[in-house]
């Protein structure tokens, strides 16, 4: 799955260089750097999440990618929610980091 993130200042889709900062922050516990606004944000910012590196989809726009591995796919097909929960947390963290991009 490819994910685009809008820049909080311009409202335009983030560039590859901007997404590189988000990509790096995804792998870190950002709860001490960004002062979470509430317990939900604290939980998401603490998570260390992994995605694909930014990939250009046009001259100016890029995406981060999330891949569902075969083990995760089997879990989803067996109706276990853990795999989907992990993907949802990755997307939540991308969203929070996108909204707070200027603080990275």
Q: What are the tens digits of pLDDT across the range 59-96?
A: 888 999 987 667 766 776 776 556 667 788 999 999 99
Nearest CA among 58, 50, 55, 61 for reference residue 91: 50
Alpha helices in 5-104 (DSSP H): 16-26, 39-46, 70-77, 82-99
| Residue 72 DSSP SS3 | helix
Burial of 94 (0-12, 13-18, 19+ CB in 10 A): buried
- Domains identified in the chain, total number: 1
Residue 59 belongs to domain spanning: 2-103
| More confident site: 8 or 73 | 8
In the predicted structure, residue 46 carries a pLDDT above the cut 60: yes
């Amino acid at each position: 799955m490819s994910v685009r993130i809008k820049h909080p200042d311009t409202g335009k889709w983030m560039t590859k260089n901007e997404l590189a900062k988000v990509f790096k922050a995804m792998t870190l516990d950002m709860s001490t750097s960004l002062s979470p606004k509430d317990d939900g944000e604290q939980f998401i910012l603490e998570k260390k999440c992994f995605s694909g590196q930014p990939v250009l989809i046009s001259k100016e726009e890029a995406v981060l990618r999330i891949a569902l591995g075969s083990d995760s796919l089997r879990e989803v097909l067996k109706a276990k929610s853990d795999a989907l929960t992990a993907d949802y947390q990755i997307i939540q963290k991308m969203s929070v980091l996108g909204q707070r991009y200027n603080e990275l």
